[in-house]
Amino acid sequence: MRLRLRLEYDGGGFRGWAAQPGLRTVEGALGAAPDRVFPSWSRLAVAGRTDTGVH
C-alpha cells in the first residue's frame, strides 16, 4: 500500500529533517507514527526536507 501525504509544519522545535541520535528531528517524530496504524509499514520516503533554522 502507498500513501501520499502533504505536510506543513512549524520546524522551530526541530533540529532539521534527518534523524540524528539525541536530537528532535521531523523524521524522528514522524518515522514511528505509521507503525502504530500500519503494522507492516516499511519506510518513510520524502520529496523535500528542512535544514535547522529554515522556516
Domains of the chain, by residue range, sit at: 11-55
Looking at 46, 51, 54, 55, which residue is catalytic? 51
**Model-level pTM greater than 0.75?**
no
Q: CB within 8 A of 50, min separation 6: which ones?
A: 11, 14, 16, 17, 26
More confident residue, 20 or 9: 20
Task: Measure the CA–CA gap between 11 and 4, rounded to whole angstroms.
Answer: 20
Q: What is the pLDDT of residue 17?
A: 82
35 given a catalytic annotation: no
15-55 pLDDT, tens digit per residue, is 888 888 999 988 888 876 777 777 776 677 777 766 666 65
